[in-house]
C-alpha cells in the first residue's frame, strides 16, 4: 500500500517562507554590521600602535628611530646618543610607554623578557610562544605591526627592534593589545542584536500566522463550501469580504457555482421536458400495439403506419434537442466578419422555396458584422420556418436587415394570427407553445434554438406582435469591433 503523501498546509509554507527571508535578512544585516565594526576596531588598534611608535620617536629627542608602513618595516632604532647599551635604552622606552587599554608591554634583551609593565595587565606578553614568535618576525623584518596568538586569542602587536653602537646585545620593545578585549563591547552588542532579531522573528511569526490565517480564510470557506456542494444542492455561496485578489477569486468562484447551478437546472428542465414530450408518443405506440388485431391485416397496417409516424416525430424531437444543445455550446461558434448584404440575400434564397407563402425581401443593409455566418443563418431560417408554420397559405412574410450604431438587425415580419400577451415569454421556453390557434404542431424547440444561437453572439430577440395582425421577430446582434459604417439600405 502506498504511503500517504505528507502535506504541508499553505499557511505553514507561507509563514516558513516569510520567516526564512526575514532570518536571512537579519543575519546578513548583522554580519555586515559586525564586519564593519570589527574592521573599525582593528583600525583603531593599529592607530594606537602607530601613536605609540610616534611617541617613542618624540620622547627620544634628537635620536633616529626607524619608520613602519602599517604592517612591516625594515628599520631599527639605533645610534641613539646618550645611551651606551641596549639595556638602558629598553628600560627608558619601557618607562615612557604606558601599557595600552586591554593590552601590555614587554622589553626583551637578546630574546629574553627583561622588563615588564609597571602595573598589572589583562594579558602577559612574556609567554615564550608569543615573545619568541614576535621576536623571530621582528628580527627578520624590522619594525612590524602584526597579529600573533597568545593563549589561543589574537593579539595585535607593535615590535620595535633596538640596537646601540658598541653594544652587541639585541633589544626588542613589544606593545600588544588583546583583540578579544577590544571586541568585548561589540560582541555584547551583537549578542543583544541576536536576541532582538529572535524577538522580531517571533513577533513576525505570530503576526504572520494570524494574517495568513485571515487571508486564507476564503480558501478554507471555498473548501468547506465545495465539500457541501452536490449536483442536487448548488445554492451555497462563499461569503465575500474585503477588496483584494482573494475576494475577487471568491466572487469568481461564486459566479462559477451560479453558472453550474443554472446549467444543472437547465439539464433537469430538459430531461423533464423530454420525458414529458416522449411519454405521449410512447404511450400511443404501446397502446395501439397492445390492441392490434393480428388477424386483421387492415388493423395491422394501420397500427404500423401510426407507429412509424410517432417514431418519426420522436426522431425529429431528438434532432431538435441535439440542435439546441449544439446552439448552447459556446465553443461551437466562430464569429468572423460577414457581409450583411450577402447574408440577407442568401437567407432569402433558402426560404423562398417554402411553398404557399408570399415571400418578400425587404430592406437589405450594406456593411459587415462580426457574426458566425452559419449559426445566424440557422437562426434566421428557423424564424422564417416558424412564421410559415403558424400562418395561413398565401400569407405575406417579409425578411430584411439593417445596420445602425446599436448593431445588426435581422427580422422576419408576417401577417399571421399574432401571439397573445400571456404567451410572449412562454414561446421562447423549451417545448413552449402559444395557443392552439397558432396552427400546425411543432416540437416547441424552434424559438429556444434561435434564442440560444443569438445569446451566444451576445445579442437578443425582440418581438413585436398583435393578435390578428401578425408578428415581427427581430434578431439584434452587436457589430464588428471596428468603427460602424453609416447605414445604407437599398
pLDDT, tens digit, 9 for 90 and up, residues 166-195: 788 888 999 999 999 999 889 999 999 999
Q: What average pLDDT does range 436-452 have in this prediction?
A: 61
Could you identify the residue written with the cell 450583411? 340
Indicate if the pLDDT at residue 303 is higher than 90.
no
pTM over 0.85: no
Greatest CA separation found in the chain? Answer: 160
Q: Which residue has the higher pLDDT, 335 or 397?
A: 397
Tell me: pLDDT of 295 over 50: yes
In the prediction, which pLDDT does 22 show? Answer: 94
Element spanning 473, H or E: strand 470-477
Report which of 413, 423, 432 is spatially closest to residue 473, judged by C-alpha positions.
413
Residue 386 confidence (pLDDT): 84
Pairing of strands 358-361, 112-115: unpaired
Residue 79 has what pLDDT? 45
Phi, psi values for residue 359, rounded to 5°? -80, 130
Q: What is the pLDDT of residues 323-346, one digit of tens each?
A: 666 665 555 567 888 899 999 999
d(CA 239, CA 171) in angstroms, rounded, equals 89
Residues whose CB falls within 8 Å of the CB of residue 455, separated by 6 or more in sequence, listed in order: none
Q: CB burial class (10 A; 0-12, 13-18, 19+) of residue 420?
A: middle
Return left, alpha or beta for 32; rule: phi > 0 is left, psi -120 to 50 is alpha, else beta: alpha
Q: What is the mean pLDDT of residues 56-80?
A: 48
In tens, the pLDDT along 249-287 reads 778 888 888 888 777 776 777 677 667 667 767 887 888
Q: How does pLDDT run across 75-116, given as a tens digit for each residue?
A: 344 445 567 788 888 888 888 888 898 899 999 998 899 898
pLDDT computed for residue 276 by the predictor:
64
pLDDT reported for residue 235: 74
Q: Considering only residues 414 and 328, tell me which one the structure prediction assigns the higher pLDDT.
A: 414
Q: What is the per-residue pLDDT for 490?
A: 41
Could you give the 3-state DSSP secondary structure of residue 462? strand
- Mean pLDDT, the chain, whole residue set: 80
Average pLDDT over residues 380-398: 87
At 485, the pLDDT band (50, 70, 90 cuts) reads very low
Percent of the chain's residues with pLDDT above 90: 24
Q: For 147-159, what is each residue's pLDDT tens digit?
A: 999 988 999 999 9
Whether the per-residue pLDDT at 460 is higher than 80: the answer is yes
Smallest Cα–Cα separation from 253: which of 225, 231, 230?
A: 225
Residue 225 has pLDDT above 80, yes or no: no
Query: In 3D, which of 66, 89, 68 has the Cα closest to residue 171?
Result: 89
Query: What confidence tier does 200 reach under pLDDT thresholds 50, 70, 90?
Result: very high
pLDDT of res. 67: 42
Amino acid at each position: 500500500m502506498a504511503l500517504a503523501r505528507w502535506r504541508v498546509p499553505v499557511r505553514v509554507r507561507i509563514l516558513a517562507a516569510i520567516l526564512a527571508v526575514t532570518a536571512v535578512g537579519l543575519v546578513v544585516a548583522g554580519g555586515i554590521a559586525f564586519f564593519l565594526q570589527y574592521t573599525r576596531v582593528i583600525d583603531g588598534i593599529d592607530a594606537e600602535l602607530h601613536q605609540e611608535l610616534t611617541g617613542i620617536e618624540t620622547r627620544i629627542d634628537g635620536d633616529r628611530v626607524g619608520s613602519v608602513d602599517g604592517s612591516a618595516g625594515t628599520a631599527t632604532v639605533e645610534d641613539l646618543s646618550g645611551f651606551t647599551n641596549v639595556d638602558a635604552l629598553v628600560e627608558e622606552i619601557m618607562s615612557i610607554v604606558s601599557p595600552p587599554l586591554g593590552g601590555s608591554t614587554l622589553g626583551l634583551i637578546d630574546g629574553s623578557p627583561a622588563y615588564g609593565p609597571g602595573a598589572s595587565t589583562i594579558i602577559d606578553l612574556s609567554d615564550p610562544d608569543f615573545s619568541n614568535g614576535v621576536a623571530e618576525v621582528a628580527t627578520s623584518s624590522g619594525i612590524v605591526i602584526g597579529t600573533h596568538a597568545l593563549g589561543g586569542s589574537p593579539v595585535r602587536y607593535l615590535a620595535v627592534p633596538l640596537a646601540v653602537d658598541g653594544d652587541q646585545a639585541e633589544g626588542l620593545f613589544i606593545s600588544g593589545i588583546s583583540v578579544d578585549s577590544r571586541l568585548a563591547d561589540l560582541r555584547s552588542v551583537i549578542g543583544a542584536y541576536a536576541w532582538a532579531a529572535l524577538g522580531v522573528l517571533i513577533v513576525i511569526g505570530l503576526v504572520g500566522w494570524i494574517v495568513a490565517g485571515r487571508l486564507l480564510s476564503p480558501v478554507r470557506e471555498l473548501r468547506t463550501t465545495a465539500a457541501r456542494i452536490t449536483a442536487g444542492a448548488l445554492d451555497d455561496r462563499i461569503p465575500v469580504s474585503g477588496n483584494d485578489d482573494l475576494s475577487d477569486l471568491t466572487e469568481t468562484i461564486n459566479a462559477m457555482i451560479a453558472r453550474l447551478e443554472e446549467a444543472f437546472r437547465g439539464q433537469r428542465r430538459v430531461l423533464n421536458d423530454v420525458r414529458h414530450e416522449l411519454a405521449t408518443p410512447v404511450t400511443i405506440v404501446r397502446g395501439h400495439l397492445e390492441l392490434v388485431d393480428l388477424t386483421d391485416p387492415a388493423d395491422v397496417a394501420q397500427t404500423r403506419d401510426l407507429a412509424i409516424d410517432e417514431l418519426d416525430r420522436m426522431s425529429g424531437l431528438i434532432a431538435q434537442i441535439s440542435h439546441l444543445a449544439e446552439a448552447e455550446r459556446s465553443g461551437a461558434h466562430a464569429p468572423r466578419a460577414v457581409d450583411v448584404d450577402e447574408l440577407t440575400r442568401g437567407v432569402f434564397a433558402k426560404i423562398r422555396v417554402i411553398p404557399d407563402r408570399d415571400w418578400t425581401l425587404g430592406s437589405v443593409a450594406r456593411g459587415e458584422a462580426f457574426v458566425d455566418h452559419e449559426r445566424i443563418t440557422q437562426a434566421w431560417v428557423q424564424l422564417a420556418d416558424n412564421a410559415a408554420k403558424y400562418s395561413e397559405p398565401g400569407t405575406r412574410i417579409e425578411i430584411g436587415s439593417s445596420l445602425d450604431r446599436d448593431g445588426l438587425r435581422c427580422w422576419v415580419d408576417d401577417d399571421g394570427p399574432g401571439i397573445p400577451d400571456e404567451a410572449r415569454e412562454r414561446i421562447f421556453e423549451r417545448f413552449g407553445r402559444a395557443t392552439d390557434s397558432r396552427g400546425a404542431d411543432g416540437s416547441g424547440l424552434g424559438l429556444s434554438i434561435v434564442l440560444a444561437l443569438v445569446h451566444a453572439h451576445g445579442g437578443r430577440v425582440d418581438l413585436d406582435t398583435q393578435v390578428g395582425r401578425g408578428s415581427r421577430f427581430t434578431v439584434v446582434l452587436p457589430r464588428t469591433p471596428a468603427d460602424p459604417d453609416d447605414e445604407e439600405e437599398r
